[in-house]
Structure 1
Amino acid sequence: MGSPRAPRRGAAVPSNEFWRTKSLEAMTSEEWESLCDGCGRCCLIKLEDEDTGEVHHTDIGCTLLDGIGCRCRDYAHRQKRVPDCVRLTPEAVRTIPWLPPTCAYRLVRDGEPLFDWHPLVSGRASSVHEAGISVRGRLSGNEEEFLDEEYPERIVDWPGLLPDEE
């Protein structure tokens, strides 16, 4: 897989640039879902420091995260199967502090362009993996493979960093 390339934002973009012209609330369901680049970073187990409120990412995936495809194995029923699964909505995107800096929902929220490896820009779903953005090859396992007391040992910085910061 090689090291992540530094992202270039605003490279050649398809003509239907809805993410540049629509607010999160104005997007259709199809547009909303297509913002997800399939990196899987938001599906990593996170730990919150009770004293400071600081959120720490681990390299442990949710029980439903497919570490190769970097997608949910049961997206339609995820909230029934994983009760604390966070459903992204425009309101949630505006309040969740732990969305990765590469996340299209966060970028659109902040009026920033998508990276050139985003599938909406590149036209290829595989570009997120080729750029080294996804969790593919980075997971230590899924949550059922670890005891709760092992989670702190699995804290990593990369999910909260841009590729050129890793």
Structure 2
Amino acid sequence: MSALSRDEWESLCDGCGKCCLHKLEDEDSGEIHFTNVACRLLNVVTCACKDYPNRRDHVPDCVQLDPDKAAELRWLPSTCAYRLVAENKPLPWWHPLVSGNANSVHEAGASVRGRAISENRAGPLDRHIVTWPA
């Protein structure tokens, strides 16, 4: 993965929006719980960041994925292309690099489109725990 150019690395993102959902970690068990609450910068209709180039200016703890992080971040969804490539697993049929269609991730129901709510409207995160993002 480290041999990929920046454009090639960025093209691995399928645009699902799952990594932009808030997660809760159980302090005792370390278990990660996904929520349906999206970062305020995620457009929950398009599943794209509203200001991707400057996102860290608005959300300082937004994680900049790189090959090393993709291999070690436990909270990346199991369908995440960065995680799959790090684990030497194939991309799913609906990934845009496989299907040739940028909308296939949404058509397959593999994105957060129609299932996420902005953090500006959500309220307490513990009321929004879901199982589908993983």
- Settle same-fold status: TM greater than 0.5: yes
Alignment-derived partner of residue 83 in structure 1: 60
The RMSD of aligned alpha carbons is 0.8
1:124-139 to 2 correspondence within 5 Å?
124-139=101-116
1:157 aligned onto 2:131: yes
| Secondary structure of 1:57's aligned partner | strand
1:70 aligned onto 2:47: yes
Q: CA deviation at 1:49?
A: 1.1
**One-letter amino acid of the counterpart of residue 56, structure 1:** H
1:9-158 to 2 correspondence within 5 Å?
24-139=1-116, 141-147=117-123, 150-158=124-132
List gaps (5 residues or longer) in structure 1: 1-23, 161-166
**One-letter amino acid of the counterpart of residue 37, structure 1:** D
Q: Deviations over 1:45-86 (max 9, x none)?
A: 111111221111100000100111101110001111001111
TM-score, normalising length: structure 2: 0.97
Instruction: State the identity as a percent.
Output: 56
Instruction: Tell me, in whole angstroms, the C-alpha distance in 2 between the residues paired with 1:111 and 1:33.
Output: 18
Q: Deviations over 1:82-130 (max 9, x none)?
A: 0111110111111100111111111111111111110001111000000
Instruction: Tell me, in whole angstroms, the C-alpha distance in 2 between the residues paired with 1:99 and 1:42.
Output: 6
Instruction: Tell me, in whole angstroms, the C-alpha distance in 2 between the residues paired with 1:132 and 1:43.
Output: 16
Runs of at least 4 residues of structure 1 off by over 3 A? none
Larger of the two Rg values belongs to structure: 1
Instruction: Tell me, in whole angstroms, the C-alpha distance in 2 between the residues paired with 1:53 and 1:78.
Output: 27
List gaps (5 residues or longer) in structure 2: none
TM-score, normalising length: structure 1: 0.79
